[in-house]
Structure 1
Amino acid sequence: MEDTPATTVAQPQGRRERNKLRVKNRIYEAAMDLFTQKGYDQTSVDEITEKADVARGTFFNHFQRKEDLIAEWGEQRRLQLRRGLDAEGIPHTQVKDIRVALSHCMSILAGVSLENPLQTKAVLTAWVRAGFPLHEQPYVAHMFGEFIEAGQRIGDISQDVDACLAGNLLRDVYLGTLYRWTQAPEGRADLEADLQSACATLLDGLLPRCPSTK
C-alpha cells in the first residue's frame, strides 16, 4: 500500500542493487497505477511494462507472475503497519491498557488503507480472488495474538482466553470490516470508526466485567 513504497527496509549499498531496486519499484508503481485505473483483471503484463518503460523480460526478472505484484502489495502493507507500530512504541514497550493499544493499532490499519483508498479497493479485490487470505501467513492475526497475550500479562484479559483464537477473531473483524468498506458507496462508510467499533465490541466479550455495584 501505497503511493511510492520502498521494496526493502534497508537500502542496498551497491549501485547495481540500487538500480535493480529502482526498476522493481518502477514496475510495481506502474502496476498499482494501472490496477487502480483499470482493475487487476483488465491489466496485462505488457501494459505494465509499457507504462514502466521496461522490457517484458525485465518484468519477469523481478516478478515471476502478475500475481506476485499482489503479494508485494500485501508485504508493503505489513511494512507500513510495522513502521506505524514502531513509531507508536507498540508492542515493543509494555502495554498499559489493552483497549488503548488495540485502538492505536486499528487507527494505523485504517490509515494504511486510507492513504490511497482507490488503490486499496482495487487491489484488495484481486488479493481476495487470488486466494491470498487462505494461503498466506496470517501476520495480522499473530500480531493481534501478541496484543492479547500482553493484555493477559497486565491482567486486562483473563488467562482463560485463547490468545491465538482471539487474534484470529480480531483478524476476522479487521478483514470483514475492510471488505465491507470496499463495497460501500463512496463517502458512505467511515473505515476507522467502523474498525474501532468492531474492535470494541469484540473486546467487550474478552475483558472482565466490573462487579455489579447494586
Structure 2
Amino acid sequence: MPAPAAPPAGRRERKRQQVRDQLYAAALHLFVAQGYEATTMEQIAETADVARATVFNHFSQKVGFLEEWGARRRTRVAEILGSQHAEDLPVGDRLRRYLREMADLNTASRAETTVLMDASARFGRLLQDPSLEIELARIVEQGRQRGEIRHGVDPDQAGALLAASYFSAILRWIREEPAPFDLHERLHSTLDIILLGILTGHGRAGKP
C-alpha cells in the first residue's frame, strides 16, 4: 500500500506558524517605526492583513511580542553555537562566544534593540524572566562537571549574575545615541571580571 499522506494537522501547523511569523514581523516593524506604546493590536492586524481576532489567537497581549523577540534571539544564538560545536569549547570560551553572538545580534539591529529592550524593561518581564539565566547556568554547570569551574560555585547563582550583567550592559548601551561604548568590549571585560574576580592574591589573603 502507498505510504499515507502527511496529516492535515501538519499543514495547519505550518500555516499557523506562517501567520505567527507574519504578525511578529508586522509588530516589530511598527514598534521600530512609531514606538511600542503607540502601536495597537489593531494596527498590527492591519499591517499583517489579518483579522483583529487573529492577533489575539497568537498573542493574547502586546507584551507577548516582546517575549517572542527575546526567545527568538536566544534560539538564534543557540543555533549559531550549535553549528560551531561550541559545546566542545572550555567554559570560559563558550560563555564568551555566547555573549559575543548576542552582541552581534544587538549591534546588527541597534534601532530594533533600542525599542524592544527598552519596552521589555518597562512593560515586560525582562529582569524577571529566568530564560537567559537558565541557559547561562547550564553552560556553567557543564563547565563545573568538567572541572573547569570551582566546585563550590552555584551554577544558578552564576547564571543569574551573568544574565544581570548582560542586561545591565544592554540597557546602558541603548540609553544614548550614538552608542556610548562598544558593546562587544563591555561584555568581554565584564565577563573577565566575573571569571577572574576583582581581588589580587594580596586581597584574597585577608579573607577569613
For the Cα contact (< 8 Å) 2:91–2:143, is it kept in 1? yes
The amino acid across from 1:79 in the alignment is T
Sequence identity (%)? 32
For the Cα contact (< 8 Å) 2:114–2:174, is it kept in 1? yes
> Which of these residues, 97, 109, 113, is aligned with residue 106 of structure 2?
113
Aligned to 2:5: none
Counterpart check, 1:123 vs 2:116: yes
* Distance in 2 (alpha carbons) for counterparts of 1:59 and 1:45: 7
Aligned to 1:205: 197
Larger Rg: 2
Tell me the alpha carbon deviations over residues 137-182 of structure 1, each in whole angstroms, 9 at most, x when there is no partner: x122122222222333343332122222111111111111111111
For the Cα contact (< 8 Å) 2:169–2:186, is it kept in 1? yes
The amino acid across from 1:83 in the alignment is E
Counterpart check, 1:192 vs 2:184: yes
Gaps of 5+ in 2: 1-7, 202-208
* Distance in 2 (alpha carbons) for counterparts of 1:79 and 1:115: 17
For the Cα contact (< 8 Å) 1:157–1:207, is it kept in 2? no
> Under a length normalisation based on structure 2, what TM-score does the superposition of the two structures give?
0.83
Gaps of 5+ in 1: 1-11, 210-214
Aligned to 2:96: 103
Change (3 A) 1:169 1:87: same
> Which of these residues, 82, 85, 89, is aligned with residue 85 of structure 2?
89
Count of aligned positions: 194
Counterpart check, 1:156 vs 2:148: yes
Change (3 A) 1:47 1:149: same
Change (3 A) 1:149 1:18: closer
For the Cα contact (< 8 Å) 1:156–1:207, is it kept in 2? no
Q: Higher relative contact order at CA 8 Å, sep ≥6: structure 1 or structure 2?
A: 1
Change (3 A) 1:43 1:161: same
- After superposition, the CA RMSD in angstroms is 2.4
Change (3 A) 1:207 1:88: farther
* Distance in 1 (alpha carbons) for counterparts of 2:199 and 2:100: 20
Aligned to 1:4: none
For the Cα contact (< 8 Å) 2:66–2:124, is it kept in 1? no
